[in-house]
Copies of this chain bind each other. A is one copy, B any other.
Amino acid sequence: MKIVALAGGVGGAKLAHGLAQILPPEDLTVIVNTGDDFEHLGLAICPDLDTVCYTLAGLANPETGWGRAGETWQAMTNLKRLGASDWFNLGDQDLATHLERTRRLKAGQPLSRVTRDFCAAWGIRHAVLPMSDNPVRTMVDTDEGELPFQEYFVHRRCEPRVKGFRFAGVEVAAPAAGTREAILSADAVVICPSNPWVSIDPILHVLSLTPPSAPLSRNSGEGLGVRAVAVSPIIAGKTVKGPAAKMFAELGIEPSALAVASHYEKFLSGIVVDSLDSELAKQIRIPTLVTNTLMTSDAERARLAQETINFIGKLP
């Protein structure tokens, strides 16, 4: 089965890793959110891309889910001493990624090319694509005004109350080369357990930009040329990590797997929800797989990926 996975950061990376454990390279393409990207200390930083790549390469910090295993902080310690902005931590190993990516982007290489080369260097055999080679920047509308995503997420620790989102640049951002081709030739799209508002929606917006042939279009309401199945990032009303549940609540929607199903309902063929939500699952009107979705080990990632693929195979 050929799968395209849409992923944001830590949760998405885990399921992408699960899929990569069970699918051969030619059968999996991971399309990653770049709405979280930003420039910081002169460096082009792509947090979700790096989290997905580090995870697939086995380089990720198992404690945090993001950043590098065995990371050190010598540069950051010294940056702080020089009075540099210190709200976004950059590890010494991680810095190499940002430095070389920044150099290549400035030399005119598209982000997808840089990502492909980095994946090769890191030994990643499955395709990882940024959603676009053009900048898309998620802006969070809050009760304190509009904030760039990392400003909201890291600097302000998701404290401001969310009122909405805007994906600056999305109108002119083209899907990265290979993304649409991957979707058109896939048997199914798996929406990883990432934040629907700020990880998955930016990808969907970018991929929907070329109607009428767009196979994955939230707005068409006409169904998809390819099946899409989501794994809920919300378990028993909470997120494992990140502000998705808080965002649902602040937008007036009770955070739940039901809310996730509803968020994607116009094009979703099925949804995977956690065992803790087995009662709630009865209210979901599309095919639903109830299973353990926590992914507390590499084996659990592969198990959830396999169950999701089996579920897709049995969809009507």
Report which A residues bind B (CB closer than 8 A). 41-43, 71-72, 74-79, 81-84, 91-93, 95-97, 99-100, 102-103, 106, 117-118, 121-122
SS of A interface (majority): helix
Q: How many chain copies? A: 2
Q: How far is the CA of A118 from the CA of B77 in the complex (A)?
A: 14
User: Which residue on B lies nearest to A44, using beta carbons?
Assistant: B42
State the CA gap A43–B41 with chains docked (Å). 11
Q: CB-CB < 8 A to A78: which residues of B? A: 93, 95-97
Across the interface, which residues of B come within 8 angstroms of A92, CB to CB?
A: 72, 74-75, 92, 95
Interface residue from B42, B79, B96, B106 paired with A96 (Cβ < 8 Å): B79
Closest 3 CB pairs of A and B: A78-B96, A74-B92, A92-B92
B72 to A100, Cβ gap below 8 A? no
The 11 listed contacts between A and B (C-beta, < 8 Å) are: A41-B100, A72-B74, A74-B93, A75-B99, A77-B93, A77-B96, A81-B96, A81-B121, A81-B122, A82-B97, A84-B103
Q: How far is the CA of A164 from the CA of B126 in the complex (A)?
A: 53
Chain B residues closer than 8 Å to A41, beta-carbon distance: 99-100, 103
Say whether, besides A78-B93, A78-B97, A82-B118, A102 and B42 are in contact (CB < 8 Å): yes
